[in-house]
A and B are shown apart, each in its own frame.
Chain A
């Protein structure tokens, strides 16, 4: 399936100018959002996980999930060779079956973007780059913007930024907001994913507020985590973020996406999240334009399960290509 970049902010959010005029106003708005009861939210997330998805539904879900993967490598030890190899896999996940769709994107550090661009020339796979002093986000704004600029000029079509969690937890919401706005501007035509780092925000109330803040600031996607700490993506975090994009769409008419990164390892996990997308946000979000899995090992398990469905027998690692 083809991928189009998500909608940009435009002038449609002028109605929010009051809310973002100063930190006190922004805080009032964010703290005025309905609270999230943790036990209730966990129970709902768990209940959605009991949906039984078999046969044709499972087949659809596996292919959908594959097409929503951002195949990721974010290690200090990454090299051009590693990235090139991963890009080939991104385009042809299963060498034995051309019917398997390519993934949505690859996700790399800014200095490897150029390698990815060259490897993916002519394919539909997008090139996402982390930026803004990923993963900690602890650097001056100017440094972060240089980081973004280099990724963009190397050819990244998607930018995955991190928010300043320190500022957020200290209540300096407007600082976090302004930073996102600046990064969005520096991203040019690349679409922007805003990483909340749910494991550091800890509570569902904080995740709800951070989600709204990021959407108001113009993020095209909100993303759970850097994948460098746990917990990262969990069903309750996903639930709250999907509710946020649903409610944001209801209020503004604008569709924004959700990316789950870190901790989504098995097909079972992925299918559970697709059920959640379906029943919480709605079926409009069941597209790579609006929903992604940031993962590396997940693709292997999706292919294993796909093989089981097509061949009827349980599969083994020998039949799955490595990066």
Chain B
């Protein structure tokens, strides 16, 4: 029995204002989709939350046509300053309904309420604020004197940051004058559909944004639809390649934000306590369901034992449990399928001779859970060093010299992000220069901001979201 036992501190579930069923949002109205009726569940308890009448290919067609009409007649003709005001309204409304959205997000996704409350929802609002301000300044954005929107954007987003990913896609598309048909992930439709409710409340002209929950076939229908001019996809590299192949035939513009296997490099002169925080944040934030997760720890051999010992101590203070409890640090794995994948890859770590360690961590008996886990004795040849696990599993490798660190960090087809920890300024810049990664976090990790461009090198995709650069994928210039 611990000396200081934190009593349960649950956020109230009622704040989410869950409805028993949700439809799809097309041409400014909520309608039942013509696809399957699917139950979305709470991965922390496996209980059903609500029923969704998913979209069908027919619904996609209607939505794309609505988006096209809205583009031709209204949205592409509207002055940027007017478009901006709609986006400001949406940003404000997200802030106002922030607590409701946060609780809903934790229920549907499984992530701890303190993350959805403190990170996901505020950043989503911030993205709308940021891009609202670009809408009337595009001629100053570095894309020539008169950049134009592309048309109808088809957007497919993943389940790991459901509302935030919707914001990352919709905000720049609308700011630049495009209209949107967006499909949220199958296991996490609720905050996207609630965003549709916010959008309707803001009186956005019908058809400018259409939100169609559904499975892979709906995503395929969007990608293939001839009325869609541009595809934006965030998800696995495997699916990203399929999409890139599909659009090769159609000439559609495409931007991809795919997987990663980021290296977090700890040099021997790192600020060790903060580096440990960075490591923990890097792989256990959002249960490791992050494309830019610092899933490979590269420690300089001379401080290896110290770092591992400090890591063990730190992991022992992580609290795993009810996502709605404000003291929970680690929530549920999003689905049974994802849990199976994590378990399979972790088992390969055992089989290939790496050493597994987890703190003592009782798991609830319902729901999908995986304890924070560290594998030591990992080499670049192991599956757990090469394949994206997308779970709370850290693979630890060592290095002797900065060049070796950089070589190992870059020895992957991925290139989304990387971390560097050292107190030596010149070493930070030397290392950052050599890392083939779209985001380099030096003496910090997992920092996001709407002004900061995010995206990958190599098989982690192309195109950037955030910042001035985030406008580029949605403009013709």
- Sorting the interface of chain B by its residue count into under 10, 10 to 19, 20 to 34 or 35 or more gives 20 to 34
Do residues B3 and A44 form an inter-chain contact, with CB atoms below 8 A?
no
* Bitwise interface map of B from 397 to 409 toward A, beta carbon under 8 Å scored 1, else 0: 0000000000000
Residue of A53, A61, A274, A283 most packed against chain B (CB within 10 A):
A53
- Given A51-B6, A52-B326, A57-B4, residue A41 in contact with residue B444 (CB < 8 A): no
Segment of A31-39, A69-77, A86-94, A167-175 in the binding face? A31-39
> CB of A122 within 8 A of chain B?
no
Indicate whether A278 reaches chain B with its CB closer than 8 angstroms.
Answer: yes
Say whether B326 contacts A50, CB under 8 Å: yes
| Pair B274/A52 contact, Cβ less than 8 Å | no
- For residue A57, give the distance in angstroms from its CB to the closest CB of chain B: 4
Q: B442: shortest Cβ distance to chain A, in Å?
A: 10
Complex Cα distance, B423 from A278, in Å, reads 28
Residue from A34, A39, A61, A275 having most chain B Cβ neighbours under 10 A? A34
Contacts of A64 in B (CB 8 A): 4
A13 to B2, CA, bound (A): 31
Counting CB contacts under 8 A, is A243 at the interface? yes
Sample of 13 further A-B pairs with CB below 8 A, known A35-B271, A57-B5, A57-B7: A37-B271, A37-B274, A41-B273, A50-B326, A51-B326, A52-B6, A52-B9, A56-B7, A57-B6, A60-B4, A275-B4, A283-B3, A283-B4
Asked if A39 meets B273 with Cβ closer than 8 Å, knowing A56-B5, A61-B4, the reply is no
Size of interface on A: residues with Cβ below 8 Å to B: 28
A interface residues with partner B (beta carbon < 8 Å): 34-37, 39-41, 43-44, 50-58, 60-61, 64, 243, 274-275, 278-279, 283, 286
**Chain A residue with the shortest CB-CB distance to B423:** A35
Name A41's closest neighbour in chain B (CB-CB): B274
Q: Across the interface, name the chain A residue whose C-beta is closest to B113.
A: A52
Judged by a CB distance under 8 angstroms, whether B118 is at the interface is yes
Subset of 24 A-B contacts with CB under 8 Å: A34-B271, A34-B272, A34-B273, A36-B273, A37-B271, A39-B444, A40-B274, A41-B273, A41-B274, A44-B274, A50-B326, A51-B327, A53-B9, A54-B9, A56-B5, A57-B6, A60-B4, A60-B5, A64-B4, A274-B4, A278-B4, A283-B3, A286-B3, A286-B4
Q: Enumerate chain B residues within 8 angstroms of A55, measured Cβ to Cβ.
A: 7
Number of A-B contacts (CB under 8 A): 68
Q: Does B311 contact A (CB under 8 A)?
A: no
Residues of B within 8 A of A (CB): 2-7, 9, 114, 118, 269-274, 277-278, 317, 326-327, 423, 443-444
CA distance A43 to B441 in the complex (A): 15
Question: In the assembled complex, which residues on chain A have CB atoms less than 8 Å from the CB atom of B270?
Answer: 34
A37 to B425, CA, bound (A): 13
Report Cα–Cα, A286/B5, bound state, in Å. 12
Closest CB-CB distance, A302 to chain B, in whole Å? Answer: 16
Closest A residue by C-beta to B273: A243
Give the CA-CA distance A314 to B114 in the complex, in Å: 27
Q: Which residues of A contact B277 (CB under 8 A)?
A: 40, 43-44
Q: In the complex, A61 Cα to B4 Cα: how many Å?
A: 8
Q: Across the interface, name the chain B residue whose C-beta is closest to A60.
A: B4
CB A150 to nearest CB in B, in angstroms, measures 38
- For B443, the chain A residues whose CB sits under 8 A away are 37, 39-40
The minimal Cβ–Cβ distance linking A127 to chain B, given in whole angstroms, is 27
CA distance A57 to B7 in the complex (A): 5
CA distance A40 to B118 in the complex (A): 17
Please tell me if the beta carbons of A40 and B271 are within 8 angstroms of each other in the complex: yes
